[in-house]
Amino acid sequence: MLPYFDLTGRIAIVTGGAGLLGKHHCKAIASAGGIPITVDIQGGDMQADITDRSAVERVCEDVLNQHGRIDILINNAANNPKVEDGSKALSRVENFPIDQWNDDMNVGLLGAFHCCQIFGGQMMQQKSGVILNIASDLSVIAPDQRLYKQDGIKDAEQPVKPITYSVVKTGLIGLTRYFATYYAPHIRVNALSPGGIEASQPKAFLDQIASRIPLERMANESEYEGAVVFLCSDASSYMTGQNLVIDGGRSCW
Ligand SMILES: NC(=O)c1ccc[n+]([C@@H]2O[C@H](COP(=O)([O-])OP(=O)(O)OC[C@H]3O[C@@H](n4cnc5c(N)ncnc54)[C@H](O)[C@@H]3O)[C@@H](O)[C@H]2O)c1
């Protein structure tokens, strides 16, 4: 491995690390020699709800007791509604529940803020560190709601990608730029905006979305690992405040 991609001994907190992509972020960190620590409401190395500031403080204390420092924070946890497989009740704008709005904002933005504040505060004391915020291609484009249309449902009742997803992911880019300058020059802060991952969605949906992506397919779940190592390592040492979009070219069309 080229030396600037080396993460040997670096302590990396990965929120939402028990989820689909979080596991791959951890694999990427470990493959470069780093030590990933998952923080997830469902368990993982440390069970914690990132919307609860005192829970994040406790995680920080525990990590410092065990490892003495924190080098990397990956803000990856979010409510991630799967519109395409109909697994979650969906809300159109006209009757969007305020509780869902608050919950999505709390996990996706307030949780990321708590982690930047607390783990970032520790990195500032160390005068070094890296923060990576996991956004989405929907941080740079609007959802194409035609993708989620289902036969036999009235237009006014068609499922849609919820507004909160776009707001959270676009908000994370603002959070990225804010902390990139606030914590400069000691901590670098960037965002990664992945396109959708193929995970047994209905074939009709896969065909539809492929037709909107220049590379003609969704991502496979390991295709962001290289970017995670790049953004968390010295390979990106002159990069901060940026949003790396990896979406098979979808947003350039
Ligand atoms: N899967 C995709 O196609 C895709 C595409 C683009 C961006 N993303 C983004 O990547 C990230 C990971 O997505 P994923 O597909 O792995 O989702 P996922 O739902 O599999 O994982 C999210 C994890 O976050 C955890 N979590 C939720 N609320 C939490 C809280 N309050 N405190 C701590 N942990 C909490 C969940 O328990 C879960 O393990 C998300 O930010 C998502 O928006 C995913």
Among 47, 45, 72, CA closest to 230? 72
Over residues 5-32, the mean pLDDT reads 98
pLDDT the model gives residue 87: 47
Ligand 1 contact via 22 beta carbon (within 6 Å): yes
| Residue 84 Cβ contacting ligand 1 at under 6 Å | no
- Averaged pLDDT for residues 164-190: 98
Is residue 78 lining ligand 1, measured as CB closer than 6 Å? yes
- Measured CA to CA, the distance from residue 70 to residue 63 in angstroms comes to 8
If one residue of 80, 104, 166 were mutated to test the ligand 1 pocket, choosing by the most ligand atoms within 8 A of its CB, it would be 80
Structural domains of the chain in order of their starting residue, each with its CATH number: 3-252 (3.40.50.720)
Residue 28, pLDDT above cutoff 80: yes
Q: Are 146 and 204 in contact (CB under 8 A)?
A: no
- pLDDT value, residue 86: 59
Residue with the smallest CA separation from ligand 1 atom 13 is 21
Does residue 171 contact residue 179 with C-beta atoms inside 8 Å? no
Structure tokens at 27: 């694999």
What residues contact 88, with CB distance under 8 A and at least 6 apart?
A: 81, 82
pTM beyond 0.95: yes
Of 60-69, 81-90, 98-107, 117-126, the least confident: 81-90
Share of the chain above pLDDT 90, in %: 90
CA dihedral defined by 121, 126, 128, 130, rounded to 10 degrees? -40
Q: For ligand 1, is residue 194 a contact (CB within 6 Å)? A: yes
Sheet strand arrangement including 243-246: 46-47, 35-40, 11-15, 72-75, 129-134, 187-194, 243-246
Give 206-236 pLDDT, tens digit per residue.
999 999 999 999 999 999 999 999 999 999 9
